[in-house]
Amino acid sequence: MFERLTEQPVDKIMLTAQAFRADPRPGKVDLGVGVYKDATGLTPVMRAVKLAEQQLWQAETTKVYTALAGEPAFADAMIALVLGDAVPRAAVAAVGTPGGTGAVRGALELIKMANPDARIFVSDPSWPNHAAMIAYMGLTRVDYRYFDATTRGVDMGGLLTDLAQAGPGDVVLLHGCCHNPTGANPTLAEWGAIIDAVLATGALPLVDLAYQGFGDGLEADAAATRMIAARAPECLIAASCSKNFGIYRERTGILMGVSHQGGTALAQGVMTALNRMNFSFPPDHGARLVTMILTTPDLRAMWETELEEVRQSMLGLRVQLAEELRQRTNSDRFDFLAHHRGMFSRLGTTPEVVQRLRDEHAIYMISDSRMNIAGLNTATVPVLAQAILSVGV
């Protein structure tokens, strides 16, 4: 049997991580995979998570199965975090999933069940696993323009033109905030125009929200998702707790299905059945920590404070890098780095130049020139600035 298999491509994010690990050079700089790192290069366990784990260890009396949809308290807490009061709770179906990836996968499976011919409109570029999962599921992907290579901002004209090609039964995948890989995001007014365009086509919005709290703050980062949930007759939302709670390996995420036309109960049943067929019960440890943090005032305050520190540190690095480049070039052509939000910025250069940064400067970014800003610290920012200019970006 195994000889019939064909090798699967490794995506460029995982390839970069492998190459970085294998590089023996001591001063190497990792701007690859999207994990937050503090100034010492550590991805810390957040203070509130550590405390919640301690409390959980003392209070937990059983590891018996949770519910197929995960703990209801987790769903309630996450729905409140993501959607605020944008929609009535009764309009939201939700299941816990293994991370945000599990939620995207669950969404695609639900879509395939409802309409195997659905075309999934995906931003060009997008997180590479989106395209991989869509292809694996046998669904059709249609790319829509997103990034303006000149301004390094959002190509609103191209995006709106391309989204107009969608129709009823199709799906438009949108990054709720902190676009991965570009770091370029629509303003709230532009979001309004995007939602108008999607709703005019009759397509279903699918929001991937993996970085709430990493861009402009917990509330601001949820604003577009809330607008979509309030205005679309139906939508799907895949939210991740990996980054904003720093619990990457605990695999904690949630899939929500919002319906204003009475489809919630059916969606809840189908999403729960999909969990059962895929993995039975979603991972519980991370979900329980998140629930404790979101519903215990002192833990929540501690978490929000640290999340804000994380966000501010990334913003500070963005500003420092843009400033370094401004001084060195005597121009504003790298100011986009300070305007981007989230962990990532697309530098906007070729794979060959990215390779030179790797070979000549031991600086690792993804081949499409996506940089993880959190991989920098105040000492490596000037090193990167100098390297960027020395390879002729």
- Can residue 131 be called a binding residue for ligand LMR (CB under 6 A)? no
> Quick one: 130 or 318, whose CB is closer to ligand LMR?
130
Which CB sits closer to ligand LMR, 141 or 179?
179
Least distance to ligand LMR, CB of residue 62, Å? 31
The least CB distance from residue 142 to ligand LMR, in Å, is 22
CB of 241 to ligand LMR, least distance (A): 13
Whose tokens are 């809840």? That residue is 268
Instruction: Answer whether 198's CB lies under 8 Å from 167's CB.
Output: no
- Write each residue from 160 to 179 as x if it is in contact with ligand LMR (CB under 6 A), else as -, in one continuous string: --------------------
Outline where 168-296 has alpha helix (H): 188-201, 218-231, 264-278, 285-295
Min dist. Cβ of residue 168 to ligand LMR (A): 31
Number of residues that bind ligand LMR (CB under 6 A): 5
Burial class (CB in 10 A: 0-12, 13-18, 19+), 114: middle
Measured at CB, which residue is nearest to ligand LMR?
A: 34
Among 20, 30, 34, 130, binds ligand LMR (CB under 6 A): 34
CA distance 42 to 40: 6
Distance CA 136, CA 327 (A): 47
State how far the Cα of 325 lies from the Cα of 27, in Å rounded to an integer: 21
Nearer to ligand LMR, 109 or 368 (CB): 368
What gap in Å lies between CA 374 and CA 262, rounded to an integer? 42
End-to-end CA distance of the chain: 48
Neighbouring C-beta atoms of residue 366, cutoff 10 Å: 26
Q: Where are the alpha helices (DSSP H) in the chain?
A: 12-22, 47-59, 72-83, 99-114, 128-136, 156-163, 188-201, 218-231, 264-278, 285-295, 297-329, 336-339, 351-361, 380-390
**Which of 12, 15, 28, 33 is the binder for ligand LMR (CB under 6 A)?**
33
Number of alpha carbons in the 13 Å side-chain half-sphere of residue 221: 25
Q: Which is nearer to ligand LMR, 70 or 102 (CB)?
A: 102
Quick check: 127 binds ligand LMR (CB under 6 A)? yes
User: Shortest gap between Cβ of 99 and ligand LMR (angstroms)?
Assistant: 8
The residues in 85-124 that bind ligand LMR, with binding defined as CB under 6 A, are none
Q: Which amino acid is at 307?
A: L
Q: How far apart are CA 182 and CA 125, in angstroms?
A: 8
- By CB under 6 A, the residues from 242 to 271 that bind ligand LMR are none
Interacting positions 12-31 with ligand LMR (CB under 6 A): 13
Peptide bond preceding 125 in cis form (omega within 30 of 0): yes
Contact status: 342 vs ligand LMR (CB under 6 A): no
- What is the closest distance, in whole angstroms, from the C-beta atom of residue 103 to ligand LMR in the complex? 13
Which residues form the catalytic set?
A: 127, 208, 210, 243
Contact positions with ligand LMR (CB under 6 A) in 176-215: 180
In angstroms, what is the minimal distance from the CB of 23 to ligand LMR?
18
Taking the complex as a whole, the smallest distance from the CB of residue 35 to ligand LMR amounts, in Å, to: 7
203 vs 310, beta carbon nearer ligand LMR: 310
CB burial string 328-350: b at 16+ within 10 A, e below: eeeeeebebbbebbbbbbbbbbe
Select 170 or 368, whichever has its Cβ closest to ligand LMR.
368
Nearest CB to ligand LMR, comparing residues 178 and 232: 178
Reported for 297-304, long-range contacts at CB under 8 A and 24+ positions apart, including other chains, are 299/48, 299/51, 299/52, 300/48, 302/47, 302/48, 302/51, 303/46, 303/47, 303/48, 303/49, 303/245, 304/218
Please state the separation of Cα 107 from the chain's center in Å: 15
Residue closer to ligand LMR (CB basis): 268 or 345 = 345
Residue ranges that bind ligand LMR, judged by CB under 6 A: 13, 33-34, 127, 180
